[in-house]
Amino acid sequence: MSAAGDQDGAVDGKTGSLGMLGFPDPGPPLFSSLTEVRERLAAVGYLADDGIAGVVHLADRLAKPVLVEGPAGTGKTELAKSVARVTGSRLIRLQCYEGLDESKALYEWNYKKQLLRIQAQRVDEDGGGDKATTSWRDLEEDIFSEEFLLTRPLLEAIRSPDPVVLLVDEVDRVELETEALLLEVLSEYQVSIPELGTIRAKQIPLVFLTSNNTRELSEALKRRCLYLHLDYPSLERERDIVLARVPGVTEELADQIARIVRSLRTLELKKYPSVSETLDWARTLVVLGVESIDAEQAKATLHVLLKYRSDLERAAKELAVAGEDRA
Ligand SMILES: Nc1ncnc2c1ncn2[C@@H]1O[C@H](COP(=O)(O)OP(=O)(O)O)[C@@H](O)[C@H]1O
Ligand SMILES: [Mg+2]
């Protein structure tokens, strides 16, 4: 087995420096102020309020991961993508699911290729090749080298020489052991591979972990992160999101849509309409050529917004009452 050495960024062995024992370099700040965060995000169509922009700004300054929690479809994933876009960083995404383990999150050895390598060796020897040249030791060193390593998102983010935004999406879906693994990587920004050595990050990636809150995350993980609760946007922000994201929508329609969605969220529903559903609804109405919505049109298209029969019935009733009030 090859001597396990400390390596700096790339698993190279030859060029890896041993010197960097401290924390990786956080690099120059990506943003100079909260306002700049907000403006640059708006330029790519992501409308943040001061709360969101403030946390992103701090995360950049303090080189700390952000845990973004909140209902589905409120812009958690999109926030990380948009930050990557505006900073020109590479987006590396680890999509979490039940059963995700180290081999899919961090790295694994390419067993098939290793086997082929061993078989090729045998063929060489049977064919009268120079038997003495390759000992088991050499072979082992060979098959546990960079060439046989399959890097997964966490390792990929750690060893990237370029700025990275790491998105650990829907972290509440993984088991506790995998959460602990994440925590370890995010605390130390290094990964130990027994056969290869320790790989230290060259720079600290900007990390976003998202959670739909299906279970409580560990205290340790929360301690490590800045916390951002992403709730449904304010009326004005939702209207602006519709205007920014839906081509062809008029201001009046966007305003009406935002108002109706907001009032639906005050009802007791099984599943509240999310921002993505608001956008789907707006697109639907634009396609139907609606410029100003009335109660009938709203009722006829509610199924884009609400996905439970009981919710649809409740909302239809509410819209009818609102319509009568206005009449
Ligand atoms: N603040 C926002 N600005 C612009 N678009 C937004 C915003 N929040 C949500 N969206 C839209 O809503 C959609 C769903 O957001 P997403 O990030 O996938 O939700 P989540 O990850 O919270 O479930 C995105 O595709 C995006 O178009
Ligand atoms: Mg998401």
CA nearest neighbour of 157 among 202, 108, 104: 202
**Single-letter code of the amino acid located at 229:** H
Which helix (H) or strand (E) element contains residue 295? Answer: helix 295-301
Q: Which secondary structure element, helix H or strand E, spans residue 74, and what is its range?
A: none
Residue bearing the CA closest to ligand 1, atom 7 = 75
pLDDT at res. 132: 52
* Greatest alpha-carbon span in the chain: 95
Residue whose CA lies nearest to ligand 1 atom number 3 = 46
What is the residue type of 175?
E
Buried-exposed string 209-238: b where 16+ CB fall within 10 A, e elsewhere: bbbbeeeebeeebeebbbebebebbeeebb
- For the CA of 41, the closest atom of ligand 1 is 3
- The first and second tokens of residue 191, run together, are 């990964």
User: What's the pLDDT at 86?
Assistant: 97
* CB-CB contact of 163 with 87 (8 Å): yes
Around ligand 1, the residues with Cβ closer than 6 Å are: 45-48, 72-78, 210, 241, 245, 275-276, 279
What is residue 12's predicted lDDT score, i.e. its pLDDT? 39
CA–CA dist 135, 225 (Å, integer): 48
Q: How far apart are CA 288 and CA 84, in angstroms?
A: 34
Q: Are 295 and 319 in contact (CB under 8 A)?
A: yes
Q: Whose CA is nearest to atom 12 of ligand 1?
A: 276
Residues of the chain with pLDDT under 50: 1-5, 10-20
Q: Which residues pair with 151 in a beta bridge?
A: 107
Q: What is the pLDDT, as a whole number, of residue 20?
A: 45
Shortest-distance ligand to the CA of residue 72: 1
pLDDT at position 50: 97
